[in-house]
Chain A
Amino acid sequence: MARGRSSLAATLLAATLATTLAGTALGQSPSAVPAGTPMAMPSGPAPTSLTVLCTPQEDWCQAMVAAFQSQTGIPTTYVRLSSGEALARIRASASAPEFSVWWGGPADGFVAADAEGLLEHYISPDSVVIADTQKDPDGAWTGVYVGALGFCSNTKVLQELGVDVPDSWDDLLDPRLQGQVGMAHPASSGTAYTALYTQVIRLSGEDAAIDYMKQLHNNILQYTKSGSAPAEMAGRGEIAVAVVFSHDCVKNIDAGFSDLAVSFPAEGTGYEIGGVALIKDAPEPIAARMWIDWSLEAATQEIGATVGSYQLPTNPDAKVSERSVDLSQVNLVPYDFSAAGEARTGLTQRFEDEVAAQPIE
């Protein structure tokens, strides 16, 4: 309890105590607002908790939550769920939402959620600095980072297989790479959905994209749940190439997987704008808005690099790490987040029916 965070023990205890007592206990949180923190406190009762649905990697989620908690004094918990999972979870609990704010994950997921009326529009005063292409004009979501899809290769494994580092989507279809390519499942992972929708744009059409995925399926070892997992598998040498966001590859190189190398498909690759959004009927709307405002600040967007997450910030004032991808050097496809988000449910269903269940030839 003294930790001031909402654990089960706290919940159970709180259930037995009068609410006032519980309120007092939470108020004793050791992390009061440090003097001089520029945090606009909206009117209304002071928020006493915040539950964040966090989609990027666990350590970044932790760092963000810890920073927010220490700057605002609001006890904050989070659950890390991959993009598709997060969407499913918000949908499942729409009648009584368990989360107030959804932070991170490709904007397609936010577009899909908004189409189902699961998001509360909020145009943050801090969003004026964010480029128009990196936010929804109606405030359904606002961009907090940018990342480009790439290939994360284990050069040692590739060398043994006698295959060059791939620099084209077609390179992944090399029969020598059978069972050597890793990708997440588009139903659960935003990364994998970005990869899937990139094919739709690149090959102009869903049918062609599904065809490509069917061919790639022969080389896929396992569709993981979370999008960044294949990068670790490649680092470990379980697979030769992972289709991941390039920053997830760099993160693993930093973590000690020195055989990894990043490359990009020459014919064009997809990219993500990681979003933040307020969840409809959020139980903690004030704290959630504070989180959104805070997540758009330059200083906040520099937290990622401290834990090895080198996504590009959307706030132009934020420092860009030299480990981040230089988008001017990468050929990007004209990715359409709205179209991608709207196609999401149907396309993942098609993927499941026509690709994932196929036996390997």
Chain B
Amino acid sequence: MPRGRRSIDPARIVVSTTSGAVPPHSIAAARPRRRAIDPAIAIALVVAVAFVLIAIVWPVLMVVGTALSADAIPIFQRYLRPPQNQILINTVVLGVVVATVGTAIAFLFAFVQVRVPAPRPIKTTLHVLALLPIVSPPFALAIAAISLFGRSGIITRDLLGLRVDIYGLPGLTLVMSLSFFPVAYVSLAGLMRSLDPALDEAAANLGSSRWRVFRTVTLPLLLPGMASGFLLLFVEALADLGNPLVLGGNFTVLSSRLYIAIIGEYNMLSGSVLAVLLLVPSLIVYFVHRYYAERASVVSVTGKPTGRLTEVTGRPARYALLGAAMAVAGLITLLYLTILLGSFTKLLGVDNSFTLKNYEAVLFGYGIQAVQDTTLLASIATPLAGLLGIIIAFLVVRGRFIGRGGLDFGTMLGVAVPGTIFGIGYLMAFNVPTQIAGFTVFPKLTGGAAVLGGALAILMVFVVRSAPGGLRAGTASLQQIDPSIEEASVSLGANQTQTFRKIVLPLIKPAFLSGLIYSFARSMTAISAIIFLTTPQTRIMTQQILNETDAARYGNAYAYCVILILIVLAAMGLLTVLVGSTVRSDRNPSVELAANR
């Protein structure tokens, strides 16, 4: 796997997306003498706490509060009893199936990447293809899957003459596993690399066969990582809205039912009840995952690997593994090629003539507003979320105040809570101006008549959803930096703000960069959280893609997808250049600090 100095280190992305895998060796043990709190730190703390309370906790509490009213009891009963409990069952079944298949694919890709000898270009290609779903809208694959494998799919129908049914569980499993496995893949690959090969060698020296070593040594060591990936995928699958809407058929899940309750009926009570039914398993699984992953990493990660990893050398096993991974990669390629070709085609599969009309509609027609709005909002949200995440990480790791854990927990709710719940929470919390004792504390934030045409609410949601990535990345990297470096800076007379800016920030820049890239990709591809918040003045690309898909104008939907992917890739490149180049100039912060003094 190529690891250019300036390229984005996937292992970093893992840290930010999985939230777990925090190295256990927190060095922040020794504490210097007490100092007065720096005013800048105090302000940062107040801002961070206010943000978490207003933008994250309050909307979620509004939803929970509504669902706990007496009126909600019959609605709970309705959804917990037959036949409506089928929705809950479907949701859990989908979560388990997608998590299982997704983890299996992730394991396969990680294993092939780390343990199977193969030519470099093949490994690079596999790696890039595995990461592609991260930068594309979450349901792009679902649209392509209908074109390829639908009842009149190009492959199933035109090539194989079959009339298969991909709507419902089978199709959802296919596209959701492929869309979500990258997160688990990157973390598993990181875990596999960090395994101590000495253990495998010891087992082999004691006479175990390769298969036995794999079964009794390697696999048990990887199990916590796989479990963590499984739980994460489970939460993602539960929260997903785009795919069930596009490909769900009559397989109704909580998120799609919630969507109808809000957009079709504007029934906030039903919406809240469904949201709580969705929230409870998501939160339980998410925090089990965090707790589990943090403990598990103590067991499995034993420091830097010392020897060479044993690779799979048996031919049949090697070819089988490589073949399987390449088959999956081929499928991903095929789906993305469909998106690309479809964007230049009149009616893919029906009338395959070349056209630029789709791009004309998106770039020069009614679509351009969504492209501009989404890019603008994501560009504003990205630095805000990155900065906020890193500041909270600094406060949580280095700060000494009561409730640090609460700040961390509150921020992490931004990803632990399914997006649809933020959507309805914002509608409930911010659809009317907030008044305390007759004074307007906040103006109306959602809807077209709101401040900035509703853009502020969407911006807040983008930051809420992205800040946890920066927080995780920042926490992980801060915990590996010895606080004595910062103490040295303070001893030399710098205040905490200077220390943060000149010492901490340069040291955690790589983490900051990955946090930023993650934020931008996450904002650009967000759908479930913003779907209730778009207004006539503020349009969002993912929502437009969903509209185009629902109206079966696939050409436009594909063109949107291609443009969205290009924007995210361009931003990744730009961020790497911008942030990456400053890393070089600031490489030796202590020297610079000395020069300043």
* B residues lining the A interface (CB < 8 Å): 78, 83-84, 86-87, 146, 150-152, 157, 163, 165, 167, 245, 248-250, 252, 257, 260, 262-266, 346-347, 349-351, 365-366, 369, 372-373, 376-377, 427, 431-432, 444, 447-453, 455, 535-539, 547, 550-553
A sample of 15 more A-B contacts (CB under 8 A), given A6-B537, A345-B265, is: A15-B452, A88-B263, A92-B431, A98-B535, A179-B249, A187-B260, A221-B167, A222-B249, A236-B152, A236-B350, A236-B552, A238-B152, A348-B264, A348-B265, A353-B84
In the complex, which residues of chain A have a beta carbon less than 8 angstroms from the beta carbon of B535?
Answer: 79, 98
Does A302 sit within 8 A of B, measured CB to CB?
Answer: no
Q: Considering the chains assembled together, what is the distance between the CA atoms of A315 and B373 in angstroms? A: 38
The answer on a CB contact under 8 Å between B249 and A221 is: yes
The answer on a CB contact under 8 Å between B264 and A187 is: yes
Kindly provide the distance from the CB of B86 to the nearest chain A CB, expressed in whole angstroms: 6
The answer on a CB contact under 8 Å between A357 and B252 is: yes
The answer on a CB contact under 8 Å between B552 and A12 is: no
The answer on a CB contact under 8 Å between A224 and B550 is: yes
Q: Considering the chains assembled together, what is the distance between the CA atoms of A220 and B168 in angstroms? A: 12
Does A78 sit within 8 A of B, measured CB to CB?
Answer: yes
* Chain A residues touching B, range: 35 or more
Which listed residue, A9, A15, A356, touches B372 by the CB 8 Å rule?
A9
Closest to A161 in B: B163
Kindly provide the distance from the CB of B388 to the nearest chain A CB, expressed in whole angstroms: 21
Q: Considering the chains assembled together, what is the distance between the CA atoms of A219 and B116 in angstroms? A: 48
Does A352 sit within 8 A of B, measured CB to CB?
Answer: yes
Q: Considering the chains assembled together, what is the distance between the CA atoms of A97 and B536 in angstroms? A: 12
Does A257 sit within 8 A of B, measured CB to CB?
Answer: yes
Q: Considering the chains assembled together, what is the distance between the CA atoms of A88 and B427 in angstroms? A: 13
Q: Considering the chains assembled together, what is the distance between the CA atoms of A167 and B392 in angstroms? A: 65
- For chain A residues 218-232, which have a beta carbon within 8 Å of chain B? 220-226, 228-229, 232
Does A28 sit within 8 A of B, measured CB to CB?
Answer: no
Closest to A252 in B: B552
The answer on a CB contact under 8 Å between B152 and A358 is: no
Q: Is the interface of B mostly helix, strand, loop or mixed?
A: loop
Does A142 sit within 8 A of B, measured CB to CB?
Answer: no
Q: Considering the chains assembled together, what is the distance between the CA atoms of A345 and B264 in angstroms? A: 10
Q: Considering the chains assembled together, what is the distance between the CA atoms of A359 and B431 in angstroms? A: 36
For the complex of A and B, the 7 pairs showing the least CB-CB separation, nearest first, are A98-B448, A232-B552, A187-B264, A237-B152, A88-B266, A96-B449, A188-B264
The answer on a CB contact under 8 Å between A255 and B347 is: yes
Q: Considering the chains assembled together, what is the distance between the CA atoms of A6 and B448 in angstroms? A: 11
In the complex, which residues of chain A have a beta carbon less than 8 angstroms from the beta carbon of B536?
Answer: 6, 51, 77-79, 98-99
Kindly provide the distance from the CB of B142 to the nearest chain A CB, expressed in whole angstroms: 12
Subset of 13 A-B contacts with CB under 8 Å:
A8-B377, A58-B553, A77-B537, A79-B448, A91-B266, A98-B447, A99-B536, A157-B152, A187-B260, A188-B263, A222-B167, A255-B347, A359-B83
* A residues lining the B interface (CB < 8 Å): 5-9, 11-12, 15, 51, 57-58, 62, 77-80, 84-85, 88-89, 91-93, 95-99, 157, 160, 179, 185, 187-188, 217, 220-226, 228-229, 232-233, 235-239, 255-257, 283, 345, 348-349, 352-353, 356-360
Kindly provide the distance from the CB of B324 to the nearest chain A CB, expressed in whole angstroms: 30
The answer on a CB contact under 8 Å between B431 and A7 is: no
Q: Considering the chains assembled together, what is the distance between the CA atoms of A256 and B552 in angstroms? A: 13
The answer on a CB contact under 8 Å between A232 and B551 is: yes
Kindly provide the distance from the CB of A159 to the nearest chain B CB, expressed in whole angstroms: 13
Which listed residue, A51, A97, A229, A283, touches B550 by the CB 8 Å rule?
A229
Kindly provide the distance from the CB of B82 to the nearest chain A CB, expressed in whole angstroms: 9
Kindly provide the distance from the CB of B447 to the nearest chain A CB, expressed in whole angstroms: 5
Kindly provide the distance from the CB of B565 to the nearest chain A CB, expressed in whole angstroms: 22
Which listed residue, A80, A91, A360, touches B547 by the CB 8 Å rule?
A80
Q: Considering the chains assembled together, what is the distance between the CA atoms of A357 and B450 in angstroms? A: 35
Q: Considering the chains assembled together, what is the distance between the CA atoms of A5 and B365 in angstroms? A: 13
The answer on a CB contact under 8 Å between A187 and B551 is: no
Given contacts A8-B369, A88-B262, A92-B447, contact A222 B165 (CB under 8 A): no
Kindly provide the distance from the CB of A216 to the nearest chain B CB, expressed in whole angstroms: 12
In the complex, which residues of chain B have a beta carbon less than 8 angstroms from the beta carbon of A91?
Answer: 266
A15, A349, A357 — which one has the most chain B CB atoms within 10 A of its CB?
Answer: A357
Q: Considering the chains assembled together, what is the distance between the CA atoms of A77 and B83 in angstroms? A: 43
The answer on a CB contact under 8 Å between A8 and B265 is: no
In the complex, which residues of chain B have a beta carbon less than 8 angstroms from the beta carbon of A9?
Answer: 372-373, 376
Given contacts A57-B551, A97-B449, A255-B347, contact A7 B263 (CB under 8 A): no
In the complex, which residues of chain B have a beta carbon less than 8 angstroms from the beta carbon of A235?
Answer: 350, 552
Given contacts A85-B264, A98-B535, A221-B167, contact A256 B346 (CB under 8 A): yes
Kindly provide the distance from the CB of B537 to the nearest chain A CB, expressed in whole angstroms: 5
Which listed residue, B84, B165, B248, touches A357 by the CB 8 Å rule?
B84
Which listed residue, A85, A217, A233, touches B263 by the CB 8 Å rule?
A85
Which listed residue, B150, B163, B262, B432, touches A95 by the CB 8 Å rule?
B432
Closest to A184 in B: B550
Closest to B346 in A: A256
The answer on a CB contact under 8 Å between B447 and A225 is: no
Kindly provide the distance from the CB of A19 to the nearest chain B CB, expressed in whole angstroms: 14
Closest to A179 in B: B165
The answer on a CB contact under 8 Å between B346 and A238 is: no
Q: Considering the chains assembled together, what is the distance between the CA atoms of A18 and B369 in angstroms? A: 23
The answer on a CB contact under 8 Å between B152 and A185 is: no
The answer on a CB contact under 8 Å between A357 and B452 is: no
Closest to B447 in A: A93
Kindly provide the distance from the CB of B520 to the nearest chain A CB, expressed in whole angstroms: 17
The answer on a CB contact under 8 Å between A357 and B83 is: yes
Kindly provide the distance from the CB of B225 to the nearest chain A CB, expressed in whole angstroms: 36
Q: Considering the chains assembled together, what is the distance between the CA atoms of A62 and B444 in angstroms? A: 29
In the complex, which residues of chain A have a beta carbon less than 8 angstroms from the beta carbon of B262?
Answer: 88
A80, A160, A220, A237 — which one has the most chain B CB atoms within 10 A of its CB?
Answer: A237
The answer on a CB contact under 8 Å between B245 and A225 is: yes
The answer on a CB contact under 8 Å between A11 and B165 is: no
In the complex, which residues of chain A have a beta carbon less than 8 angstroms from the beta carbon of B451?
Answer: 15
Kindly provide the distance from the CB of A191 to the nearest chain B CB, expressed in whole angstroms: 12
In the complex, which residues of chain A have a beta carbon less than 8 angstroms from the beta carbon of B372?
Answer: 7-9
Q: Considering the chains assembled together, what is the distance between the CA atoms of A255 and B357 in angstroms? A: 13
The answer on a CB contact under 8 Å between A8 and B447 is: no
In the complex, which residues of chain A have a beta carbon less than 8 angstroms from the beta carbon of B365?
Answer: 62
The answer on a CB contact under 8 Å between B245 and A257 is: no
The answer on a CB contact under 8 Å between A226 and B455 is: no
Which listed residue, B249, B266, B369, touches A7 by the CB 8 Å rule?
B369
Closest to B347 in A: A256
In the complex, which residues of chain A have a beta carbon less than 8 angstroms from the beta carbon of B366?
Answer: 58, 62
